[in-house]
Structure 1
């Protein structure tokens, strides 16, 4: 939940348009830079966040994009979903899903990780931060602390964001459950093979004299690999390459197994026709998380809805894998209704158990 009063004050100030010009407290006002859009129930703004760099003792400030979608009348008991995008990606990848959840009295806070969305990083600043899975875990905890979030009912990750999902499920006490969309795994999925090519590309991008030239080729390369990219995503492509280079593949199984031993509740949504990651690799990660055969729902073209097929779950523990025949790499857009149903089921268990 969003507990501390500073954040609610921030939201009220955003809604009223009272924004400070520098990152400092002025009375009850917390500075926010570059307000992008604001409606009664939605704010998309940037908040300066201080991150540790790869250099010991050094820190740098990044204006982190925060997209906050709320029900019409939120309270301290309103369930909170925190969403983590893939690479490349942004908080806006969850736009439709977040609004539908808000209609069910669920609050969604989606984050732009440094270098993505409105959290811009350029040139040498890209390489000052640790973009490994463990580095992103530190970024996540730093952002949550900056937002005064002391409980996450559901941590929702998509694509490359699911590597962080495994780590957070194992080690983040604030995260009470997980939704894992189009999961990647402990293995190099098809768009990363041969993996040596990713390392070479990342090394070329790190070269200041070659960076711009290589950067200009990235949109074409990503489209060849099957990614559908808007032009707004182009600046985040070097970050995506660097993130792929630094994934802690060797620790993914241990993260998932640790979460499984904790009986961490989760829902995983997989599509068989995902062109980015192999569905059988994702199923392997589900088994590391502790899923059992009876907790897998296969959904084909003529299947009845999940709401009719899934109704039994433990009062304190819920696990489910949804295996769709189709949906591509954006399962939460292709099957939004079913994903919402599962999130609400998960929240019913998590919120009642931790109330």
Structure 2
């Protein structure tokens, strides 16, 4: 497809992959890198209700590695409640095509998501949910869209400094450089696949997705979340709220990083869930805090790990419904 043909269309098109997965669509997206290069990609994303929903829309941002399927325990429950879910798939992560000119940084990711929601015409009752690496994106998208946003939910959020899953930083930078040298990919691919499968214990089979994932980590500027938190705190007169969920047994992000991050948010209340998995009591307490008007709710999931979108799916869904009703 020519560049002109690719970007002449602004309406999402149905996408059918080899597995015939449902609810996948494409949209042309243009990203300008920090080097000034203009990159065109055909974004592949999930849309559970392309006709729209009067109840509201949730946009999800996955981790690294990850995809829209990171939220497979959440979006069916939201569908049952007539909430639309847009599942973002960032370039090179298994669905959306990759372009070697991309730098895989926060600057590009914000543009990528913003264009999708604008082209889909979503202009009210919007909630962003991000997992791990995607938590950075959901915070920024919420702050950049305060006029149409009801809230955001950060699941196992990264902090404002490198967590243990991102250290040592120089190691990730070395691996990223190794993969970027295309003439060395014959060596980098099996090495990265071994690391992600056997050390990090991710269920991943594509070495190039591993390469993009390590670049997403090396291209992460942790501290650039701070001004966005400040802007979120400053808008105390808006009804936009935030929910942060962090685990006591997270093998990638230590509690001290999560607590430090949560501590930057004002008008906050922390809820503790002492049990693994669904916790009706913690859910009730968190929802009560949201209804009381607190701006940010932290949920410390003492017995849970790095995939709280699975372990605390009910709490996430109830938080979404509560924030949508409030706005």
Tell me the alpha carbon deviations over residues 159-183 of structure 1, each in whole angstroms, 9 at most, x when there is no partner: 0011122322333334331010010
User: Is 1:133–1:167's contact at 8 Å kept on the other side of the alignment?
Assistant: no
Moved over 6 A (4+): none
What is the Cα deviation at residue 152 of structure 1? 5.3
> Unaligned stretches of 5+ in structure 2?
none
Give the equivalent residue in structure 1 for 2:24.
44
- Residue 67 (1) aligns with residue 55 (2): no
User: How has the CA–CA distance of structure 1 residues 55 and 23 changed in structure 2, closer, same or farther, with 3 Å as cutoff?
Assistant: same
For 1:121-200, list aligned pairs within 5 A: 121=98, 125-126=99-100, 128-151=101-124, 153-173=126-146, 174-200=148-174
Tell me the alpha carbon deviations over residues 271-316 of structure 1, each in whole angstroms, 9 at most, x when there is no partner: 1100011122112111212253xx1110112965234434254576
Bigger radius of gyration: 1
Tell me the alpha carbon deviations over residues 65-123 of structure 1, each in whole angstroms, 9 at most, x when there is no partner: 1111139xx665221000010111001111231011110121111110111131022xx
For 1:1-355, list aligned pairs within 5 A: 23=6, 30=11, 32=13, 34-36=15-17, 43-56=23-36, 58-70=37-49, 77-121=54-98, 125-126=99-100, 128-151=101-124, 153-173=126-146, 174-231=148-205, 234-263=207-236, 264-292=240-268, 295-301=269-275, 305-310=281-286, 311-313=288-290, 318-349=295-326, 351=327
What is the Cα deviation at residue 54 of structure 1? 4.7
User: Is 1:158–1:182's contact at 8 Å kept on the other side of the alignment?
Assistant: yes
- Aligned-partner Cα distance in 2 for 1:76–1:162: 24
Instruction: Specify the SS of the correspondent of 1:328.
Output: coil
Instruction: Specify the SS of the correspondent of 1:220.
Output: helix
Q: Bigger shift: 247-256 or 175-184? A: 247-256
What is the Cα deviation at residue 46 of structure 1? 2.7
> Unaligned stretches of 5+ in structure 1?
1-21
User: How has the CA–CA distance of structure 1 residues 309 and 142 changed in structure 2, closer, same or farther, with 3 Å as cutoff?
Assistant: closer
What is the Cα deviation at residue 240 of structure 1? 1.3
User: How has the CA–CA distance of structure 1 residues 270 and 312 changed in structure 2, closer, same or farther, with 3 Å as cutoff?
Assistant: closer
Instruction: Specify the SS of the correspondent of 1:48.
Output: strand
C-alpha root-mean-square deviation of aligned residues, in Å?
A: 2.7
- Aligned-partner Cα distance in 2 for 1:172–1:244: 25
